[in-house]
Amino acid sequence: MTLVLKDPELLEFRSLIDGEWVGAGVDAVHNPATGALLGHVAHLGAAEATRAVEAAARAFKPWAKKLAKERGAILRRWFDLIIANREDLALILTSEQGKPLAEARGEIDYAASYVEYYAEEAKRIYGETVPSHRPDARIIVARQPAGVVAAITPWNFPAGMITRKIAPALAAGCTAVVKPAPETPLTALALAVLAQRAGIPDGVFNVLTGDAPAIGQVFTGHPAVRVVGFTGSTEVGKLLMRQAAGGVKKVALELGGNAPFIVFDDADIDAAVEGAMISKFRNMGQTCVCANRIYVQDGVYDAFVARLAERVAALVVGEGTAPGVTQGPLITADALAKVERLVADATAKGATAVTGGRHHALGRTFYEPTVLAGVTAAMTVAREEIFGPVAPVFRFHSEDEVVEAANNTEYGLAAYFYARDIGRIFRVAEALEYGMVGINSGLLSSELAPFGGVKESGNSREGGPHGIAEFVETKYMLLGGLDR
Ligand X SMILES: O=C[C@H](O)CS(=O)(=O)O
Ligand Y SMILES: NC(=O)c1ccc[n+]([C@@H]2O[C@H](COP(=O)([O-])OP(=O)(O)OC[C@H]3O[C@@H](n4cnc5c(N)ncnc54)[C@H](O)[C@@H]3O)[C@@H](O)[C@H]2O)c1
Give the residue with the Cβ less far from ligand Y, 279 or 297. Answer: 279
The residue among 81 and 218 lying less far from ligand Y, judged by its C-beta, is 218
Choose between 39 and 173: whose C-beta lies nearer to ligand Y. Answer: 39
Q: Which is closer to ligand X, CB of 44 or CB of 289?
A: 289
Residue 397 CB, nearest approach to ligand Y (Å):
30
Residue 254 as a binder of ligand Y (CB under 6 A): the answer is yes
Asked if residue 234 binds ligand X (CB under 6 A), the reply is no
* The only residue of 31, 97, 113, 156 in contact with ligand X, by rule CB under 6 A: 156
| Residue 173 lies near ligand Y (rule: CB under 6 A) | no
396 vs 451, beta carbon nearer ligand X? 451
Which of 368, 371, 366 lies closest to 331, judged by CA? 366
The CA distance from 133 to 19, in Å, is 49
Contact range with ligand Y by CB under 6 A, out of 149-157, 189-197, 342-350, 469-477: 149-157
Instruction: Pick out residues in 368-387 that bind ligand Y (CB under 6 A).
Output: 385
Q: Does 152 bind ligand Y (CB under 6 A)?
A: yes
Identify whether 254 is a catalytic site residue: yes
Does 29 bind ligand Y (CB under 6 A)? Our answer is: no
Torsion of CA 329, 331, 337, 342, to 10 degrees: -80
**Residue whose C-alpha is closest to residue 365's, from 393, 342, 389, 382:** 389
Mark the segment that binds ligand X (CB under 6 A) among 53-61, 138-146, 155-163, 421-429.
155-163
Residue 155 contact, options ligand Y, ligand X, none, Cβ 5-8 Å cut-off depending on partner type: ligand Y
Q: Does 289 bind ligand X (CB under 6 A)?
A: yes
- Nearest residue (CB) to ligand Y, 181 versus 312: 181
Shorter beta-carbon distance to ligand X: residue 157 or 418 = 157
User: Is 148 a binder of ligand X (CB under 6 A)?
Assistant: no
CB of 157 to ligand X, least distance (A): 5
Choose which of 31, 206, 258, 287 interacts with ligand X (CB under 6 A). 287
Which one of 175, 231, 283, 297 is in contact with ligand Y (CB under 6 A)?
A: 231
- Residue pair 212/110 in contact by the 8 Å Cβ criterion: no
Helix (H), strand (E), coil (C) string for the chain? CCCCCCCHHHCCCCEEECCEEECCEEEEEECCCCCCEEEEEECECHHHHHHHHHHHHHHHHHHHHCCHHHHHHHHHHHHHHHHHCHHHHHHHHHHHHCCCHHHHHHHHHHHHHHHHHHHHHHHHCCCEEECCCCCCCEEEEEEEECCEEEEECCCCCCCHHHHHHHHHHHHHCCEEEEECCCCCHHHHHHHHHHHHHHCCCCCCEEECCECHHHHHHHHHHCCCEEEEEEECCHHHHHHHHHHHHCCCCEEEEECCCCEEEEECCCCCHHHHHHHHHHHHHHHHHCCCCCEEEEEEEHHHHHHHHHHHHHHHHCCCECCCCCCCCCECCCCCHHHHHHHHHHHHHHHHCCCEEEECCCECCCCCCCECCEEEEEECCCCHHHCCCCCCCEEEEEEECCHHHHHHHHHCCCCCCEEEEECCCHHHHHHHHHHCCCCEEEECCCCCCCCCCCECCCHHHECCCECCHHHHHHHEEEEEEEECCCCC
CB 286 within 8 A of CB 323: no
Q: Which listed residue (107, 116, 121, 254) is catalytic?
A: 254
Of 137, 140, 212, 315, which one interacts with ligand Y (CB under 6 A)?
Answer: 212
Give me the 404-443 binding string for ligand Y, x by CB under 6 A, dash otherwise.
Answer: ---------x------------------------------
Residue 213 interacts with, from ligand X, ligand Y, none (CB under 5-8 Å by kind): ligand Y
State which of positions 431-450 bind ligand X (CB under 6 A): 445
Instruction: Please report whether residue 288 would count as binding ligand Y according to CB under 6 A.
Output: yes
Which residues does 128 contact at the CB level (< 8 Å), separation at least 6? 140, 141
Nearest approach, Cβ of residue 184 and ligand Y (Å): 9
What minimum distance in Å lies between the beta carbon of 386 and ligand Y? Answer: 10
Check residue 111 for interaction with ligand X (CB under 6 A).
no
The smaller minimum CB distance to ligand X, of residues 225 and 255, is found at: 255
Tell whether residue 319 is a contact of ligand Y (CB under 6 A).
no
Q: Which residues are catalytic?
A: 254
Site of interaction with ligand Y (CB under 6 A): 152-157, 161, 179, 181-182, 212-213, 216, 231-233, 236, 239, 254-257, 288, 385, 413, 458
Binding site for ligand X (CB under 6 A): 156-157, 160, 287-289, 445, 451
